[in-house]
Structure 1
Amino acid sequence: MSMTTNRRRVLRGSAVAAALALTLTACGGTDRADEGSGSGGGSAAEGDLSGDLLVWAWDSTVPDVATAFEEANPGVDIEIVNAGTGNDQYTALQNAIQAGSGVPDLAQIEYFAIPQFAIGEGLADIGSMGASDLEDSFTPGPWSSVAINGGVYGLPLDSGPMALFYNEAVFAEHGVEIPTTWDEYLEAARALHAADPNLYITNDTGDAGFTTSMIWQAGGHPYEVDGTNVTVDFDTPEVAQFTDLWQTMIDEELLAPVTSWSDDWNQGLGNGTIATLTIGAWMPTNLENGAPAAEGDWRVAPMPQWEAGADLVTSENGGSALSVTSASQNADLAYAFLEFASVDEGVQIRVDGGAFPATVAELESEEFLGKEFPYFGNQKLNEVLAESAKAVAPGWQYLPYQVYANSIFNDNVGSAYVSGASLSDGIASWQDATIAYGNEQGFTVD
């Protein structure tokens, strides 16, 4: 998710199933709420840009990008609507598509959710509009998330390569080394908690995104998708590598029982009782806003590795694209704005607003890499984060109904954090539930 200023919100159970249930038939015939908004809109290819656009986005930098686009194109009027963050917006978008009215021209969609809307034909394939030529503009992880089944269903806005955010003051106070491997991470967790029972190396009460990102880094590929044929398999050594580590953390009570994005979470990040976060590169602005009392204490290091001395391997955690909807009556103009926001002038506007880019040019620029962050003790943390972006393990795929799968994660795995149930058993239950749901929706799932 693009987490520039917003929190994850999770819908569970039947509400998600009802709102986000897929059909494998076209969702065509939908229309914008204000019919005719595309009338008079010129072709982006001809450079005659005029007309109206409706954009659904929760990211706080998108309105500034829209303003800049309007200033460059006086005949264009863009309305930005925050229809909710993450799943809240996906529910609204799916409802609008099914109702055939109120669908925006463009929508911000997290990478894990794109396949769900693409396979339901709610998103336009923009490959032939020029998007296919932009592959080399983006880092591989975000690009692979928008390029699906031979089509392109959005352009990356940002990315979330993972790194270790850590409270340097806490580690220094207790004489604990910053971990470079997951074995060292476990030992650091034990040392910190032994030094102060109120101190935890991190928090976790069950998070589908974090769990899959950890499995991704370990080299796992639990999801294989070929059109409507899907394989879900969590019974692999890579999954066991993560569950064995995390089960030990749970059993030894080394994880703060605090839910991410809560007030208690921000308090723990601010007072030092939560000492690290292994999380996406979009986190800096959230730390600055959520834990201002800890300014100067936090730093960023590479994500701990499963194998000491090996080349850096990371994974993605969050990030989002902007996608043109199939219902747009002004697709040329929508695509022109999309390019402006994702590869042209809009990128720097978003970076200046705190977003972490998915574009190679920005990630390699001296200005970007040399930026000092006062909150992080003037560390040039983009150097670390850009290296993480280059090291993302290839080949990851999401389910074409990942929104639903994530929504039932804690229904199956959550008990491992509170009642002594096995984490591996919970993940096996999650696997069975996602297989059953996929088959119910018309996929062929093994």
Structure 2
Amino acid sequence: MTIIRRHAILLGAAALSVTLTATACSSSDKQDSGAAKPASDADVQAALDAGGEITVWAWEPTLKKVVSDFEAKYPKVKVKLVNAGTGNEQYTALQNAVKAGSGIPDIAHVEYYALPQFALAKSLTDLSALGADKLNSTFTPGPWNAVHAGGSGVYGLPMDSGPMALFYNKEVFDKHKIKAPATWEEYIAAAKKLHAADPKAYLTNDTGDAGFTTSMIWQAGGKPYTVNGTEVGVNFDDAGTKQFTTAWQKLISDKLLAPVNSWSDAWYKGLGDGTIASLVTGAWMPASLESGVKAGAGKWRVAPMPQWKSGQEASAENGGSSLAITQASTNKKLAYAFLKYATVDEGAQSRVDAGAFPATTKQLNSPDFQNKKAPYFGGQQINQVLAKSAGNVLIGWSYLPFQVYANSIFNDTVGKAYVSGTTLQDGLKSWQDASTKYGQEQGFTVK
């Protein structure tokens, strides 16, 4: 996601529905020729020289400086940056604008898990014809795969990424003689040791989170979702999923997870006083710790994500977002010029300097980036760990073309495993059934 907190703002069950009859608004027939035939770099430069105005809907704070710098470099271009809400608030507004056929921005900030929904509804432009298909080596594998949205086109340019790692309180670990666990077996043992030594302390918290659960399944090699156009598969009975649920169920059953909601006041307090001693999460987390857990300064460190088998180096993404051009935009070449500036060219470095975690290999592999010492983390060069994680993200993961809805019902299904006798595996089966039913109602062929 972004340097602001990652957790999604989930909508009610009826929100953000997607149907196979959804199309771009009527203004799409007025598009410029950028999507009608391949556009050259010269075409995009010509659009910059001609100038004009584009509207960008985004909540990511580092884009403010990017817009200012872009307008300074190209004085004939005006970029109207609008915060239409965070996450699903913006997605609802965007969907409503598309349905109404008016008020649609040229560019929208869309998280990776939500991108397939808008791509399939034909609300977004395939950027291949604008030159995006040539950028495959520009981005790390996880984000680049994500912007393909289950299809062959490119429906956004990666803005940031969230390769996962273990963030831990070294002071607490040292006190209880716990080493950063290299495997999930060691992780479970550490959870037991810490809680036995101090009943008020937990290795981590978890009350049920769709993004975390799917990322953990991803790292275990699971592929519960398959997408081929309107044919969708949902299956949480695969080996990777079971590997995760078997391990995590032990933590749930033995009450070794802090019953604290992430991003709550109690969560921030626990991270600060050591009663929540670690987090397995995305590379965007440092900024959130620095701003929200000031009491932890100097105490926290970063280690590789624990592995399912000793010697492995598998990782997954947790969060991350893109900038996409709407199908209704009448100024696609100019919009693409801004996208490329913000995600590939000068704007990419500007955002990294402001704390965003890069999706670009150039910034990720830069010695200045990797060797930067993080005072909050005791001077550790944490980007070396995070950059390595980015390179180890397993490929082949897909999100549902209605993942926004699926995530909104997670706590009604899988969430029961945290508050009742339902097992995590049974909760995932209920989630699978509910997601399948919804997909079929929306016109998908769901296996």
Shared fold (TM-score, shorter chain, > 0.5): yes
What's 2:13 paired with? 14
Letter of the 1:10 partner, please give it.
I
Partner of 2:109: helix, strand, or coil?
strand
1:26 lines up with 2:23 in the alignment: yes
| Counterpart in the other structure of 1:246 | 248
CA RMSD of aligned residues (A): 1.3
Q: Residue deviations 1:2-32, cap 9 Å, x none?
A: 2x1245243244342xx3333344223147x
Does the 8 A contact of 1:6 with 1:58 survive in 2?
no
Q: Is the contact made by 2:25 and 2:100 (CA closer than 8 Å) also made in structure 1?
A: no
Report the equivalent of 2:423. 422
Partner of 1:276: 278
Deviation, 1:421, is: 1.6
The answer (yes or no) to whether the contact 2:225–2:232 under 8 Å persists in 1 is yes
The equivalences for 1:82-231 within 5 A come to 82-148=83-149, 149-231=151-233
Structure 1: unaligned runs, 5 residues or longer: 32-41
**Contact 1:43–1:333 at 8 Å: present in 2 too?**
no
1:317 corresponds in structure 2 to 318
Checking the alignment, whether the CA contact within 8 Å between 1:49 and 1:333 is kept in structure 2 is no
2:307 equivalent in structure 1: 305
Q: Any conservation in 1 of the 2:18–2:117 contact (CA below 8 Å)?
A: no
User: What is the alpha-carbon distance in structure 2 between the residues aligned to residue 15 and residue 434 of structure 1?
Assistant: 13
Distance 1:60 1:392 in 2: 26
State the partner residue of 2:32: none
Unaligned runs of 5+ in 2: 29-41
Q: What is the alpha-carbon distance in structure 2 between the residues aligned to residue 49 and residue 203 of structure 1? A: 53
2: CA distance, partners of 1:8 / 1:217? 19
| Residue 54 (structure 1) aligns with | 55
Alpha-carbon separation, structure 1, partners of 2:21 and 2:440 = 12
Determine the C-alpha separation between the residues in 1 that align with 2:212 and 2:27: 35
SS at match of 2:26: coil
Deviations 1:288-334 (A, max 9, x none): 01101110000000000000123x00000000000011111211111
Residue in structure 2 matched with residue 64 of structure 1 by the alignment: 65
Q: Count how many residue pairs are aligned between Structure 1 and Structure 2.
A: 432
Query: What secondary structure, in the 3-state scheme, does the structure 2 residue paired with 1:136 have?
Result: coil
Offset at 1:420?
2.3
Amino acid at match of 2:224: P
Once the two structures are superposed, residues 377-433 of structure 1 have per-residue CA deviations (whole angstroms, 9 ceiling, x without a partner) of 111000000000000011111111111111111110111111222111110000001
The aligned residue for residue 298 of structure 2 is 296
Cα distance in 1 between the residues matched to 2:50 and 2:155: 22
Q: Normalising by the residue count of structure 2, what TM-score does the alignment of the two structures yield?
A: 0.94
Q: SS at the partner of 1:277?
A: strand
Q: Percent identity?
A: 57
**Whole-angstrom CA distance in 2 between matches of 1:9 and 1:163:** 20
What residue is the counterpart of 1:37 in the other structure?
A: none
Distance across 2 between alignment mates of 1:63 and 1:6: 18
| Matched AA of 2:24 | C
3-state SS of 1:279 partner: strand
- Partners of 1:24 and 1:256 in 2: CA distance: 44
For residue 4 of structure 2, what is the aligned residue in structure 1?
5
User: 1:377 aligns to what?
Assistant: 378
With over 3 angstroms needed to count, the CA separation of the structure-2 counterparts of 1:217 and 1:9, relative to structure 1, is closer
**Contact 1:5 1:285 survives alignment (8 Å):** yes
Alignment of 1:313-352 (within 5 A): 313-352=314-353
Structure 1 letter corresponding to 2:18:
A
SS, match of residue 115 in structure 1: helix
Structure 1 CA distance for aligned equivalents of residues 269 and 56 of structure 2: 34
- Structure 1 letter corresponding to 2:115: I
Residues in 1 aligned to 2:245 and 2:213: alpha-carbon distance in whole angstroms? 9
Cα distance, 1:49–1:144 mapped onto 2, change above 3 Å: farther
For residue 43 of structure 1, report the CA deviation from its aligned partner.
Answer: 5.3
Q: 1: distance between equivalents of 2:140 and 2:98?
A: 31
Q: Any idea what SS the aligned residue of 2:245 has?
A: helix
Alignment correspondent of 2:38: none
Worse overlay, 317-326 or 140-149: 140-149
